[in-house]
Chains A and B, each alone.
Chain A
Amino acid sequence: MSQKIRVVIAKPGLDGHDRGAKVIARALRDAGMEVIYMGLRQTPEQIVSAALQEDADVIGLSILSGAHMHICPRIVELLREKQMSDVLVVVGGIIPDADVPRLNEIGIRGIFQPGTPMQEIVDFITKNTRTRVAFERLS
């Protein structure tokens, strides 16, 4: 039973509105994933380093403050530097439609705007990590 998907959830930036991050963390845990909730005000460096230490399959970011265009590219860049580009990055929060194409371009496909059902997020993560988890844990 060591094939649990491992997810690091963090709130980068200065914002403290953690309702969404905590609700999603619980939903993923209830869906059988291993959730590491880092809490507030995590820098991209701290988040990537936690993902490395925890051997995470997924990094989940909650950003409501408008700082996502600074934070997301930095995280993707750090993952590339550490050869961790196979880690799935998903972001939830107040992400304007106008910013979605740019986030897609840098490789972030899991973008969850307000009103997204929890199940949709669970399904997205499950579908997009299955290969990696199966491959790594079995090899």
Chain B
Amino acid sequence: MVPRDVLYTPQSIEALDYARDLGNPGDFPYTRGIHASGYRGKLWTMRQFAGFGTPEETNERYRRLLAAGGTGLSVAFDLPTLMGRDPDHELSRGEVGKCGVNVTSLADMEALFAGIDLGAVTTSMTINGPAPMLLAMYLVVAEERGTDWATLSGTIQNDILKEFIAQKEFIYPPRPSMRLVTDVFAFCASHVPRWNTISVSGYHIREAGATAAQELAFTLRNGIEYVDYAIEAGLDVDVFAPRISFFFNSHSDFFEEIAKFRAARRIWARVMRDRFKAVNPRSWQMRFHAQTAGVSLTAQQPYNNVVRTALQALAATLGGTQSLHTNALDEALALPTEAAATLALRTQQIIAHETGIVDVVDPLGGSYFLEKLTCEIEGEAMAYIDKIDRMGGMVPAIERGFPQKEIAESAYQFQRAVESKEQVIVGVNEFVSPEHEEIGTLYIDESAGERQLARLDETRRRRDRSRVDAAIDRLQAGAKGESNLMPLLIDAVKAHATVGEMCDGLREVWGEYVEDPII
């Protein structure tokens, strides 16, 4: 936590220059927001992350979320899909459909979006290692239905660096992984122009234990690394940079979070203009999604989580987020029930329509305290960014375990503070209730796994095996050379190759990444 004074006064922000450091909303450096009219022009997108079991079950949840007033979709995949393993792989046992929806082949992607007009919704897909494979599936479904790729709008997370740092769902070593990321940038720039080709994510970094300043620093430094690699790959910064989006955690320290979002916009605008010489204002404007802090949810007294989430969501909106996911009260225990997920959406709707915070852009701008805190968190983040620059960038920093160690240290210090009650968690280490509060949770049994195995068998039986093999051979040849792999993956998807088969094809060429376990 950034240290606080008891009182802030005009002296606290003497060094601040309004035009240089803040600017009006819509003006460089966008500290106060990227849109002049804030939420009066357009509310944030209420995008609830969801996925469990089979594609059919998740499709039903999506349709209900849209019917309840949700304005975007967000796909949560299960671990086998995230790790590029088919349901019949040894490591997938017991994991199919548990933490998200299982998508193995084109038939699954078709079922996931059945009855949903891909040209009319925006879809976010949280997938990283196999991001190009799942994006290829989405594009093929659109093509089958006659939806023009130019009308598709959405986001693929495609942020492999934070996987090495925090979430640990990596497949290949960092360098070939970075090539997959830039292949998606290049392909979408010419074929899917409205698609956000990366969501540079601090969310998972924070959940792994980082402080707010570390979340900000590592996320922005990852963003810088992607821009460096894309320029290196021959892309024009002003063509791909406007398609970069960010994803932050909205945690419990209310003002620190708001300051973090404002500092993020200011740093990114300056980095893009001054470091990368981007000239398109859209390259300077940081757009981000926020999610309330999953790690702050408690299994004890679960109804307290509704209050935590509401306050965190308020911080995200006062910080000017473009879209928001609010966690459900039961998520310390399981994936949310329908009722819990609906209440989480209602929380956003209450903030948007009942509190009046949407009427004024950056309503807290000019607060002595908030402006000072924004500068301090910016300073802390910049010190980290400089340090990583001196290491030669984020890939070398990851290879020596630097961000990983910093985060593990913060996580341990936080836990010690909880043990000593220096950090109070209501219902956990203070204000504890003697009785165990029971709430009904979603229980995912093994049946989804069985149904996915059956569908995989059917896909394998019905498709032309020689067409799959030929597509995988071409993919491997492409991986050994320089060509963009997206068209080759699209061909493989059309041949009904599975996620596991496509990922294995590349594993044979590039090998797998194994992390050095450090504590």
Interface check A17, CB cutoff 8 A: yes
Contacts of A14 in B (CB 8 A): 79-80, 82-83, 85, 91-92, 95
Cα distance A22–B415 when bound, in Å? 11
Interface check A33, CB cutoff 8 A: no
In contact, B168 and A40 (Cβ under 8 angstroms): yes
Contacts of A39 in B (CB 8 A): 515-517
Cα distance A66–B415 when bound, in Å? 24
Interface check A25, CB cutoff 8 A: yes
The contact of B519 among A37, A65, A71, by CB within 8 Å, is: A37
The A83-118 residues at the B interface (CB cut-off 8 A) are 94, 96, 98, 113-115, 117-118
Minimum CB–CB distance for A115 against chain B, Å: 5
Cα distance A69–B90 when bound, in Å? 15
Interface check A80, CB cutoff 8 A: no
In contact, B517 and A114 (Cβ under 8 angstroms): no
Contacts of A15 in B (CB 8 A): 79, 95, 99
Contacts of A82 in B (CB 8 A): none
In contact, A23 and B98 (Cβ under 8 angstroms): no
Contacts of A38 in B (CB 8 A): 517
Interface check A128, CB cutoff 8 A: no
Contacts of B147 in A (CB 8 A): none
In contact, A113 and B98 (Cβ under 8 angstroms): no
In contact, A119 and B419 (Cβ under 8 angstroms): yes
Which residue of chain B is the closest to A25 with respect to CB atoms? Answer: B519
Chain A CB within 10 A, most for which of B79, B94, B168: B94
Minimum CB–CB distance for B495 against chain A, Å: 26
Contacts of A133 in B (CB 8 A): none
Interface check A26, CB cutoff 8 A: yes
Interface check B349, CB cutoff 8 A: no
Interface check A127, CB cutoff 8 A: no
Contact with A along B15-55 (1 / 0, CB 8 A): 00000000000000000000000000000000000000000
- In the complex, which range does the number of interface residues on chain A fall in? 35 or more
Cα distance A94–B441 when bound, in Å? 12
The contact of A19 among B208, B300, B518, by CB within 8 Å, is: B208
Interface check B334, CB cutoff 8 A: yes
Minimum CB–CB distance for A43 against chain B, Å: 8
Minimum CB–CB distance for A29 against chain B, Å: 8
Minimum CB–CB distance for B213 against chain A, Å: 18
A14-B83, A15-B95 given. 6 additional CB < 8 A pairs?
A16-B168, A17-B168, A23-B411, A25-B519, A35-B519, A119-B419
Minimum CB–CB distance for B334 against chain A, Å: 7
Interface check A60, CB cutoff 8 A: no
The A7-34 residues at the B interface (CB cut-off 8 A) are 13-19, 22-23, 25-27, 29
In contact, B85 and A118 (Cβ under 8 angstroms): no
Interface check B443, CB cutoff 8 A: yes
Cα distance A26–B518 when bound, in Å? 10
The A49-91 residues at the B interface (CB cut-off 8 A) are 65-67, 69-71
Contacts of A37 in B (CB 8 A): 517-519
Contact with B along A123-138 (1 / 0, CB 8 A): 0000000000000000
In contact, A65 and B298 (Cβ under 8 angstroms): no
Contact residues of A: prevailing secondary structure: mixed
In contact, B168 and A18 (Cβ under 8 angstroms): yes
- In the complex, which range does the number of interface residues on chain B fall in? 35 or more
Interface check B351, CB cutoff 8 A: no
Cα distance A16–B519 when bound, in Å? 14
Chain B CB within 10 A, most for which of A16, A37, A96: A16
The B91-120 residues at the A interface (CB cut-off 8 A) are 91-95, 98-99
In contact, B429 and A13 (Cβ under 8 angstroms): no
Interface CB pairs A-B, < 8 A, 12: A13-B91, A13-B94, A14-B83, A19-B411, A22-B408, A25-B519, A27-B415, A37-B519, A39-B517, A65-B79, A115-B299, A118-B415
The contact of A96 among B80, B92, B443, B519, by CB within 8 Å, is: B443
In contact, B411 and A17 (Cβ under 8 angstroms): no
Cα distance A39–B82 when bound, in Å? 18
Interface check B57, CB cutoff 8 A: no
Minimum CB–CB distance for B312 against chain A, Å: 18
Cα distance A26–B207 when bound, in Å? 18
Contacts of A17 in B (CB 8 A): 167-168, 207-208
Interface check B332, CB cutoff 8 A: yes
Cα distance A14–B130 when bound, in Å? 14
| Given known A-B contacts A14-B79, A19-B209, A117-B429, A65 and B95 have beta carbons under 8 A apart | yes
6 smallest CB-CB distances across A and B, nearest first, come from A16-B168, A39-B517, A70-B94, A67-B94, A14-B79, A66-B98
Minimum CB–CB distance for B299 against chain A, Å: 4
Minimum CB–CB distance for A72 against chain B, Å: 10
Contacts of A118 in B (CB 8 A): 415, 419
Cα distance A67–B90 when bound, in Å? 13
Which residue of chain B is the closest to A64 with respect to CB atoms? Answer: B99
Interface check B169, CB cutoff 8 A: yes
Contacts of B408 in A (CB 8 A): 22, 26
Contacts of B167 in A (CB 8 A): 16-17
Cα distance A137–B342 when bound, in Å? 57
Contacts of A117 in B (CB 8 A): 418-419, 429
Interface check B444, CB cutoff 8 A: yes
Cα distance A22–B515 when bound, in Å? 14
Cα distance A115–B334 when bound, in Å? 15
Cα distance A54–B158 when bound, in Å? 39
The contact of A13 among B79, B411, B443, by CB within 8 Å, is: B79
Which residue of chain B is the closest to A67 with respect to CB atoms? Answer: B94
In contact, A69 and B94 (Cβ under 8 angstroms): yes
Interface check B412, CB cutoff 8 A: yes
Cα distance A114–B334 when bound, in Å? 11
In contact, A114 and B415 (Cβ under 8 angstroms): no
| Given known A-B contacts A19-B411, A66-B99, A96 and B300 have beta carbons under 8 A apart | no
Contact with A along B414-448 (1 / 0, CB 8 A): 01001100000100110000000000010110000
The contact of B98 among A16, A22, A29, A67, by CB within 8 Å, is: A67
In contact, B411 and A22 (Cβ under 8 angstroms): yes
